[in-house]
Chain A
Amino acid sequence: MSQTITIAPITRIEGHASIAIQLDDAGNVQDSKVHIMSLRGFEKFVEGKPAEELPRIVNRICGICPWQHHLASNKAVDRCFGVTPPPAGRKLRELMQTISHAEDKLLHFFFLAAADFVIGPDSDYAVRNVIGIARANPELARKVVQMRYMAKMMLEKFAGKAIHPIAGVVGGFSKPLLEAERKEFLAKMHQLLDFALFTIDFAKTEIFPKYLDTITSLGAIKTGFIGTVDDDGALDLYDGKIRLMKPDMSFIEFDSQDYADYIGEHVEPYSYGKLPYARCWNEGFSLDLAEPRGIYRSNCLARVNVADKMATPRAQAELEEFREKFGRPAQATLLYHWARLIEEVYACEHAIELLEDPEITDTNIRAKVEPKAGRGVGCLEAPRGTLIHDYATDENGLITRANMIVGTTHNLGPINMSVNQAARSLIKNGEISEGTLNRIEMAVRAYDP
């Protein structure tokens, strides 16, 4: 008899989703769906609000990457009002975004993902979590907690709030960085860089080799990729051109202001979340495993695939080693974990670069702003992908229209595909175990949705 297996909720991810797997009479997978279970509708309820207030409203889209929403929103409003932040204002924004990337990747790797590898994918769920890791390896747990806490407290001490930030303001930043603070930050970022290097070495010696078969096969699909690069083609988390790459490595680049000419959003009846696709490829939308159409991926694996190089030395060395092993573009889904740790090294190195720039303590941090009618797209790389905020304002600077494409949503189509692939390869003749279902979720967790 046909049967539906429901994995609800998908756990150790950020957000509300579930998986429904339909089995046929023989107990093999007929179909699968990833349900995105809720909708808040920021696009509607920001209408009529003063645009300069939006960076303090839309950060609530995500409590894990509020800095990215906060800053993409600031960039969009800057454009609406036709203002350019002074160099130090821009650099402080970029510093905050870079430190929050560094903090976020530690959170995902150790708190959300690691248990599947350190404790094991088939182990009891009661211990397959960060609490289990804390019991099994208290010294590591203490170090992880300490490093993350240090990064978060840097953000809070300087910028007031670390979660749902307020220090980015239209036209720049709300307060300058003092020399004493710069020195303190620099010393702490060096500690974080050391920990980032420890983490990637730990993963490359203790984790990835043990699970190489799983990593290269679980949830494996073939798609295009999206990410932001600078003028030299190096990965850039804060600003640059959007590069949209096909599976055969051919790519187009565009200015984020023109995103709507390239990206469309498809709607499926089983998901409140919309599924973006490459409208500009003119091949429509399909999640067919053998022949997907319009499907590309975002987040760290996508970024290291589209970038020609990393702009910092340690991260570049890691990227070279990664490409040597897995080629370019690397398609295996669980390689997201590896790519995330390369980006962790980059974020720490880049924060140090920013802090070594004497201009960052300049006190000219905010340009004069007048509200006016306009339109602006603010774009940057959130941990989970290319984040787009697009606003229009009236002559009083109130929002008349808003459209947002959030980093994770680019991956909703690919997540559906990876779940389908994993379910088909793991479930045969109706045989299901907790470990099997957890492995299917591991294909989702890799994307850190």
Chain B
Amino acid sequence: MTAKIAEEWLNSCSGCEIAIVDMGQRLLDILDKAEFVHIPVLLDHKYLGQLGDGRHIEIPEADVGIISGGIRNEEHLEVAQEMRSKCRTIAALGTCATHGGIPALTNAYHTDAVLERYYSTETTDKPDHWPDDGVPACLDACYALDEKIKVDIYLPGCPPHPDHVYAALAALLEGTTPVLPARSVCDTCPTMRAGKGQLKQLRRFLQAPHYGSPQEPLDKMRCLLEQGLLCMGPVTRAGCGGDKTTPRCIAARVPCRGCYGPVKQDGNQLLDMLNALASNGIEIGSLPEHPSLLRFSGAHRLLRPARQGKES
């Protein structure tokens, strides 16, 4: 019997869905083994029946439910709850679903402040009131999935590498649990580390890191953090490079920003990074600002509006 899969996207960008499509030939293999019963990006199954006359969101029963994106409004919440009630296993796909992702940067502000800015930019004809006709009300913050529904499997990444998406889907279709790398980006990074140095200050990413000729392999380049560039590798889960393992940002000679979320599901990338810097004698004050250390994991109430209306 083929396994049934339902897929939904919530407060997201569709990058996770494209990562599914980017499995290439492996996508066709999955399609042979599984039946998608609901996936809005590819399939025309409708919430309110095919003639649009139903009253409540309805998603068919499935063995596996995959959800990308966090929960930011009432419709996201309703869809997530319906998915939970209809799917035996729920997998959170991508860092928005597991930790809020970039959209959870909104959590540094009250929702009203976000709406106020969006509807009063210099090109906008400011309305008398914000949209409320047939559009779902915003919640007070952007939530990771497991703040609102039970999640069985976590597949972080922004987006998850297609190799991981495939491995996870293949495991789920066989009824086993996908295994995530339990290491940090640093553990898989080929760059050279010399150990604690004289570094006191971090510099912003305004110049290329030092390395020899462009032909030189990455293992001849010194660790970017040791070169004084903020790199979130120590506090970020490994895996972004897929089967080839080399971290993707490092491969482009660019420092990591933490897109796979914390090494442990309930870690705090901001605290862990500040600790790592402090224990190496690096002045935390040399960072231009702090909330960006939670840019991928601001859900779970980690990023909050400051009391005086100032960013936390």
On A, residues with C-beta under 8 Å from B are 5-9, 11-16, 18, 20, 33, 35-41, 43-50, 52-53, 56-57, 60-64, 66, 107, 111-112, 125-126, 128-131, 134, 141-142, 145-146, 148-149, 152, 156, 159-164, 166-167, 169-171, 174-176, 178, 259-260, 263-272, 274, 276, 285, 363, 366, 368-371, 396-398, 403, 405, 432-434, 437-438, 441
Contact = CB atoms under 8 A, between A and B. Distances in A.
Given A149-B22, A267-B119, A396-B288, A40 B46 contact: no
Of A13, A39, A62, A125, the most chain B CB neighbours within 10 A belong to A39
Contact of B123 (A62, A264, A272): A264
Given A159-B252, A271-B131, A398 B289 contact: yes
Interface stretch (B170-178, B193-201, B253-261, B267-275): B253-261
B99 interface: no
Contacts of B48: 6, 8
Contacts of B47: 8-9
A310 B260 CA distance: 41
25 contacts: A5-B52, A11-B41, A11-B46, A16-B75, A33-B134, A35-B134, A40-B103, A40-B106, A45-B109, A56-B257, A125-B50, A146-B25, A160-B250, A160-B254, A161-B249, A164-B259, A166-B252, A169-B254, A174-B254, A260-B122, A267-B125, A267-B126, A270-B134, A403-B123, A433-B51
B52 A52 contact: no
Contact of B53 (A5, A145, A152): A5
A434 B251 CA distance: 48
Contacts of B119: 267, 274
B222 interface: no
B158 interface: yes
A226 B40 CA distance: 29
Contact of A129 (B15, B44, B138): B44
Nearest to B158: A164
Nearest to B70: A40
B46 A8 contact: yes
B307 interface: no
B135 A35 contact: yes
Given A134-B31, A437-B52, A41 B205 contact: no
Contact of A145 (B9, B27, B127): B27
A44 B105 CA distance: 9
B248 A272 contact: no
Given A5-B53, A178-B215, A128 B44 contact: yes
Nearest to B109: A44
Given A14-B14, A40-B103, A50-B292, A164 B117 contact: no
Nearest to A262: B123
| Top 3 A-B residue pairs of the complex, sorted by shortest distance between their CB atoms | A63-B15, A160-B252, A149-B24
A39 B122 CA distance: 18
Interface stretch (B81-89, B146-154, B206-214): B206-214
A38 B76 contact: yes
B103 A60 contact: yes
A429 B80 CA distance: 37
B181 to A, nearest CB: 17
Contacts of A37: 73, 75, 135-136
A44 B289 contact: no
A57 B134 contact: no
A14 B41 contact: yes
A9 B14 contact: no
Given A43-B121, A45-B109, A146-B25, A269 B44 contact: no
Given A9-B40, A403-B123, A39 B115 contact: yes
B43 interface: yes
B278 interface: no
Contacts of A260: 122-123
Contact of A63 (B16, B46, B250): B16
Nearest to B94: A63
A179 B15 CA distance: 31
Interface in B253-312: 253-254, 257, 259, 288-289, 291-292, 295, 311
B15 A164 contact: yes
A263 B125 CA distance: 11
Given A43-B118, A145-B27, A167-B252, A129 B131 contact: no
Contact of A134 (B9, B28, B133): B28
Interface string B21-60: 1101101100100001000111111111011110000000
B244 to A, nearest CB: 10
User: Which of A6, A285, A432, A438 has the most CB atoms of chain B within a 10 A radius of its CB?
Assistant: A6
Interface in B94-126: 101-103, 105-106, 108-109, 113-115, 117-119, 121-126
A443 to B, nearest CB: 14
A353 to B, nearest CB: 23
Nearest to B76: A38
Contacts of A171: 206
A433 B53 CA distance: 12
A41 to B, nearest CB: 4
Contacts of A276: 123
A52 B14 contact: no
A157 to B, nearest CB: 9
A44 B72 contact: no
A403 B131 contact: no
B117 A44 contact: yes
Contact of A272 (B12, B131, B250): B131
A274 B14 contact: no
A296 B9 CA distance: 30
A134 B76 CA distance: 31
Given A8-B46, A134-B31, A433-B51, 7 more contacts: A6-B53, A12-B44, A49-B292, A53-B292, A162-B22, A267-B119, A369-B206
B159 interface: yes
Contact of B15 (A35, A66, A265, A363): A66
Given A129-B42, A149-B22, A260-B122, A369 B207 contact: yes
A285 B124 CA distance: 12
B21 A107 contact: yes
Nearest to A15: B14
Nearest to A62: B13
A44 B113 contact: yes
Contacts of A6: 48, 52-53
Contacts of B27: 145
Nearest to B288: A50
B136 to A, nearest CB: 6
B143 to A, nearest CB: 13
